[in-house]
Amino acid sequence: MTHAAPPMPTSASPFTLLIAALGGEGGGVLADWIVECAQRQGLPVQATSVPGVAQRTGATSYYIELQREPSPGAKPVFALSPVPGNVDVLVASELLEAARMVERGFVNGRTTLVASTHRVYTTVEKMHMADGRHDPQRLIGAARALAARAVLFDMDTLTRRHGTVVSAVMFGALAGAGVLPWSREVCEAVIQASGRGVQASLAGFGAAFDAAQAGQSVDAEAAATLQAAELPEDLRSAWAGRLSTWPEAVQRLAAHGALRCLDYQNRAHAEHFLQRVDALVGACVPGAEAARDEAVRHLALWMCYEDVIRVADLKSRAARFARVRREAEARDGEIVRITEHFKPGPDEVAAVLPRALGAWLVGVAERRGWMGRAHVGLHIRTSSVWGFLMLRTLAWLRPLRPRSLRYAQEDAAQYSWLEAMVRLMPVAPRLAASVAGLPQVLKGYGETQARGRQNHARLWAEHVAPALAHLNAIDDGAAALAFEQALRSTLADPEGTLNTAHAHRSGGAQPVFWAPRATATGATSSPVPPAT
351-361 confidence digits (pLDDT tens): 888 999 988 98
Asked whether 300 and 257 are in contact (CB, 8 A), the reply is yes
What is the distance between the alpha carbons of residues 437 and 346, in angstroms, rounded to a whole number? 29
350 versus 170: the higher-pLDDT residue is: 170
pLDDT at 226: 46
- Residues of the chain with pLDDT > 70, as a percent, come to 84
Q: 324: exposed, middle or buried (C-beta count within 10 Å: 0-12, 13-18, 19+)?
A: middle
In order of 46, 126, 386, the CA distances from 122 in angstroms are 31, 6, 33
What is the distance between the alpha carbons of residues 179 and 192, in angstroms, rounded to a whole number? 21
CA dihedral for 304, 308, 313, 314, sign (positive or negative): positive
| Mean pLDDT score, 308-337 | 85
H or E stretch covering 293: helix 289-302
CA proximity to 489, closest of 477, 476, 508, 502: 502
Question: Is the pLDDT at 213 greater than 90, yes or no?
Answer: no
Q: Which residues lie below 8 Å from residue 244, measured CB to CB, with a gap of 6+?
A: 251
Question: Is the pLDDT at 196 greater than 90, yes or no?
Answer: no
Domains defined along the chain, listed by start: 15-225 (3.40.920.10), 231-307+405-505 (no CATH), 308-403 (no CATH)
| Mean pLDDT score, 472-488 | 89
pLDDT at 52: 63
> Which alpha helices (H) appear in 41-120, and where do they start and end?
95-103
pTM for the structure as a whole: 0.61
Would you list the DSSP string of 333-377? Answer: T-----EEEE---HHHHHHHSBHHHHHHHHHHHHHTT-TTT----
The shares of helix, strand and coil residues in the chain, as percent rounded to the nearest 5, are: 55, 10, 35
Q: Which amino acid is at 520?
A: A
DSSP E strands in 361-509: the ranges are 378-381
CA proximity to 225, closest of 87, 116, 357: 116
Mean pLDDT of the chain: 82
Question: Is the pLDDT at 512 greater than 70, yes or no?
Answer: no
Among 136-140, 199-203, 312-316, where is mean pLDDT lowest? 136-140
What is the distance between the alpha carbons of residues 216 and 117, in angstroms, rounded to a whole number? 11
Q: What is the DSSP letter of 7?
A: P
Question: Is the pLDDT at 299 greater than 90, yes or no?
Answer: yes
Q: What is the DSSP letter of 330?
A: P
Question: Is the pLDDT at 511 greater than 50, yes or no?
Answer: no
CA dihedral for 348, 353, 359, 360, sign (positive or negative): negative
